[in-house]
Amino acid sequence: MTQLEYKLHIDDVIRKVEKARLRVSGHHIVKIVAVSKYSKTQEIEALYKIGQRAFGENRVQDLKAKSQELEESPLEWHFIGNLQKNKINNLLEINPTLFQALDSYELALELQKKLETKNMTLDCLVQVNSAKEASKHGFMPEELLVMYAKIETECKNIKLRGLMSIGAHSKDKAVIKQSFDTTYKLYKALPNATICSMGMSGDFELAIECGSNMIRLGSVMFNK
């Protein structure tokens, strides 16, 4: 694919986002985070040249390597993967724009401890397991509001900005929609939350229609 063909492909993705967003409202703004976990630095640069600025990785070591290689470019980095406690310091060294996958109370306490020591804060999203799938991380919907408030009060260096969720693993659109509706309803119940991160390459239009204002697109942005 030439650079022009690639640009036309990305235009097409953006047009789909635009259409879905306008079905919600002209005021509904959606941010695209390009998930570069399957992609090399050169591929990230090609997308950067088209205008993409926010990128996401799901492994701390990949985030470190790619953000260092691209440190001359004004990119914002999101960490979207499960964070092991022994990788917290590595993540904080990179100081990402947003950690999207705070998925347990124990992790929040560890993260808070490390943040306090380093005298820094970190913007985070709490991950919800809206479809209640054993294979997925995150808080169960019924405990979410209580745990979100608990982390907010007890972990002063963690700046909670909203929720992140992965749509139900299903071919049935109604089942996927239900998982997005669950996440959105919880998001709306949070007084200070501004980010509802849901929707991936296969389901981003539906996610936007359900209220998502941040989509995480991997394969569709990198033609994988």
Ligand X SMILES: *Cc1c(COP(=O)(O)O)cnc(C)c1O
Contacting positions for ligand X (CB under 6 A): 35, 37, 58, 80, 166, 200-202, 216-220
The minimum distance between CB 123 and ligand X, in angstroms, equals: 16
Q: Which is closer to ligand X, CB of 116 or CB of 123?
A: 123
Sequence-separated (6 or more) residues with CB below 8 Å from residue 51: none
Q: CA-CA distance, 98 to 116, in Å (whole number)?
A: 17
Residue 12, token pair as written in the block: 């097409």
The minimum distance between CB 40 and ligand X, in angstroms, equals: 15
Q: Which is closer to ligand X, CB of 82 or CB of 90?
A: 82
Closest CA to 206 of 190, 189, 184, 224: 184
Question: How far is Cα of residue 206 from the mean position of the Cα atoms in its chain?
Answer: 16
Q: Which is closer to ligand X, CB of 41 or CB of 219?
A: 219
The minimum distance between CB 217 and ligand X, in angstroms, equals: 5
Angle between helices 3-24 and 41-50 (to 10 degrees): 60
| Side chain identity, residue 88 | I
Q: Which is closer to ligand X, CB of 193 or CB of 220?
A: 220
Q: CA-CA distance, 82 to 99, in Å (whole number)?
A: 10
- Is 186 within 8 Å of 141 (Cβ atoms)? yes
The minimum distance between CB 175 and ligand X, in angstroms, equals: 17
Q: Which is closer to ligand X, CB of 151 or CB of 220?
A: 220
Neighbours of 53 (CB within 10 A): 15
The minimum distance between CB 191 and ligand X, in angstroms, equals: 25
Residue 79, token pair as written in the block: 């960490």
Q: Which is closer to ligand X, CB of 118 or CB of 137?
A: 137
Give the angle subtended at the CA of 78 by the CAs of 59 and 166, to the nearest 5°: 80
Give me the residue whose beta carbon is nearest to ligand X: 218
The minimum distance between CB 164 and ligand X, in angstroms, equals: 7
